[in-house]
Amino acid sequence: MSAAAFIRSASRARVAPFARRAFVQKPVFQRAAFSAGPSRLAGADVDAHDPHHEESFEDFTARYEKEFENVQDVFELQRNLNNAFAYDLVPSPSVVIAALRAARRVNDFPTAVRIFEGINAKVENKSQYDEYLTELQGIREELGVVLKEDLFPTSS
């Protein structure tokens, strides 16, 4: 095969696919053949899964207390904790108690210790963290949960 034929065939192979794609027009919006979920009328039934629904702190607390009461394994516990701590608020002590009881139910001591680390990260100052510790002292003693600060004291 001559060098000119090789160059000519290589250049055609590279140009042809791009040239064909440039002239194919795709529809801007295609309607799905079927619906993945039920259709709802706006405003007819507002639920917690609506992205525009504003949940009150009391609703948030009740929802996560129920979520932690239904936890059956470590994955569910950690998923619910990640979801609860992802909000721009500190969960109420009742939610923390439910999470600690769920950690004990699935026998996950490290996650129970990490719950208090999450509270420490979410509160604005040390006094708020101390208030949580005071409020949750009884449940900590009942379940035998120690703090990271007690496990690994800093040498200061």
Domain definitions of the chain by residue range? 57-150
b/e 97-115 (16+ beta carbons within 10 angstroms → b): bbbbbbbbebebeebbbbb
Q: Cα(156)–Cα(150) distance, rounded to whole angstroms?
A: 14
Structure-token match 């769920």, residue found: 102
pTM: 0.65
Report how far Cα 1 is from the mean position of its chain's Cα atoms: 61
From first to last of its 156 residues, the chain has per-residue pLDDT tens of 555 555 555 555 555 554 455 555 555 555 555 445 444 544 444 455 666 678 899 999 999 999 999 999 999 999 999 999 999 899 999 999 999 999 999 999 999 999 999 999 999 999 999 999 999 999 999 999 999 998 888 854
Domain 57-150 class in CATH? mainly alpha
